[in-house]
Amino acid sequence: MKQSDRDRSVRLLWAPPAEPTRGPKAALSQSRVVGAAMEVADAEGVDALTMRRVAEALGSTAMALYRHVPGKSELLDLMVDAAWGETERTPPGPWREGLEFFARQMWAMYRAHPWMLQLTTSRVMPGPHAMTRRDAAYAAVSQLGLRPEEIVAVVTAVAHHVDGVGRAMADRVRTERETGVSEEDWWTGREALWEHFTPDRLPMMTHIWNTGGFERPLDEFEFGLARLLDGLAVFLESGERPVVRRETCQ
């Protein structure tokens, strides 16, 4: 059952079904359902993304969606891959420009569709768009004489950075929508919290707070990306590279 579910998702993502010749003309279609679902999620967040809500956006009923999409989890898979489809493939070029391009494309995608980072980490049936984008990112570091597992590790490190920053960003967006209050106003209004910020318990926090360090934060995406690329440069341009095999996590 789980097995067949997964295979169904694969087929759906990589080989969308041909449209039938018989029967009434469909008012809906898979791409319309996916598009409507993305609009709902963009505007109202993933919590509002119910089958009934998507159907409403299409002027239809919940069960009609099941003619075009096997279920909600497959719909999410399709939405994710559609979002990847909106990104551009990393063009050939120097490694640093390529990785930066890839990171910026992911970042733009997450900014446009923050719900992607709210999908728990569960949903990750890779679709063709996600795969081609990643393939192009691998290509960006393919001319450096790296071993294949190093190519994967380098691109993965960049992707993880964007994931991590995106997660925090998505949280800000969601909180602001839910509360209707801007991030900054909300935190300053949380007096029940600030009472506990005493120098003896949180010396650095209170110091940074008092000197305004929280009020003018650096750009997390840009800062972290620049550091990571600097660090990758050290690795890529050094003579002998250290090998780090996976031992953790199995």
Kindly state the smallest distance separating residue 58's Cβ from DNA, in Å: 8
Asked if 95 and 155 touch (Cβ cutoff 8 Å), the reply is no
Q: Which one, 41 or 109, has the nearer CB to DNA?
A: 41
Among 7, 11, 16, 26, binds DNA (CB under 7 A): 26
Q: Any idea which residue has 């029967």 for tokens?
A: 23
Within 10 A of 105 (CB to CB), how many other CB atoms are there?
A: 20
**52 binds DNA, rule: CB under 7 A:** yes
DSSP per-residue letters across 40-96: HHHHH-GGG--HHHHHHHTTS-HHHHTTT-S-HHHHHHHHHHHHHHTSPPPPSS-HH
Task: Tell which positions 66-125 bind DNA, by CB under 7 A.
Answer: 66-68, 71-73
67 binds, among DNA, a second copy, none (CB under 5 to 8 A by kind): DNA
How many CA within 13 A on the CB side of residue 113?
A: 22
Here the tokens at position 113 are 């569709």
Kindly state the smallest distance separating residue 74's Cβ from DNA, in Å: 8
Size of the site for DNA (CB under 7 A): 27
**25 binds DNA, rule: CB under 7 A:** yes
**60 binds DNA, rule: CB under 7 A:** yes
Contacts with DNA by CB under 7 A lie at 19-28, 49-53, 55, 60-64, 66-68, 71-73
